[in-house]
Structure 1
Amino acid sequence: MQPESTSGTSGGALAIPMAWLCAEYIADEMLRTSSLVEVGSLEYRAGRETLALTICLCDGSDEAAGLRSLSRIEEWLNLTAYGHPWSDWVTERLAGRAERERGIGGRPDPDLALAETSWRWLRRTELLAADLGDSEPWHPSNSMDAIVDECSQIWTPAWQLGLPLSHLAIHLY
């Protein structure tokens, strides 16, 4: 029996979000092996979603081969580094992909749909994190004299916690 939806990109076949699934697998592998946070926690999900978005939205058709490429890993490190306007970059990339989708006859892109869902979750979900006393809650204060009270916590968007987790996971991989 044929599935009801066959609006894929390969001649009537089912549309499978391979780029997203591959990016999510790589992100999961990096975070699990880094052992930075407990697997299954909201913090873990924030890191996985952030890293998967970074990987998926980078240019390149073969993310799995890109994992072995030093230049690809350096690109991911640069994108997740402190000071990079990551959220603006994600918004621009998603808008560009949506525009391309409209330009190719409006065929739905399953990778884009999952990436947009992930981005909505990362923006709307807030996690309780240590208040490090900076406008960027995950970045340590530049002052050497500053004392951080780790018991003091603030609510922060999930992507702001996921970004440094992603960066560290890439370093440790």
Structure 2
Amino acid sequence: MLVTLLLVSAVLLSFERITYFLVSRYPNYWCRLCLRSPLASFGGPVDVLNGLFYGFKFIQAAVFLYWWGFYGDTWLPLPTAEGIGLVLGGGLIAVGILLNSLVFSKLGRTGVFYGAQMGYDVPWIRGFPFSVLRHPQYLGALVCIWGLFVVMRFPNDDWFYLPLLETALYAWGAYNEP
């Protein structure tokens, strides 16, 4: 059952990475696609991608909640970590949220959602966190995911499978996106 659940999770979670890869590699095609119905009704290419972002996060949350419920033997997932696990997991979540907040505040929605590749004027940011990290948003998301699973499933045997899968997907995206 673990392999099946991991494969289904991999397929569902990969939609986000594949979409961002395609948009970053083929921004002109994406812009043309967003001019067509029904996508045009959602606004410009950045608006459409922003909307998809929320859809992808919904899928991610559903996968995580299903995993926690399935392996937690309850459909009301509760944290399983205690003491240092809760502190460490909470700290990871906080660092991840901070990194993502910094990226969004410095790049803005247009910069985060590949606006520069689509021809929008997005200034090049050299300050922190970009001065230290190549993909601070991806790292922030991953650190947050690892923190969530430390809090929700540690020390159970299944706690690291989805974070490891997400790490592979985000690493693929970071390597293949500009």
Scaled by the length of structure 2, the TM-score of the pair is 0.33
Structure holding more helix per residue: 2
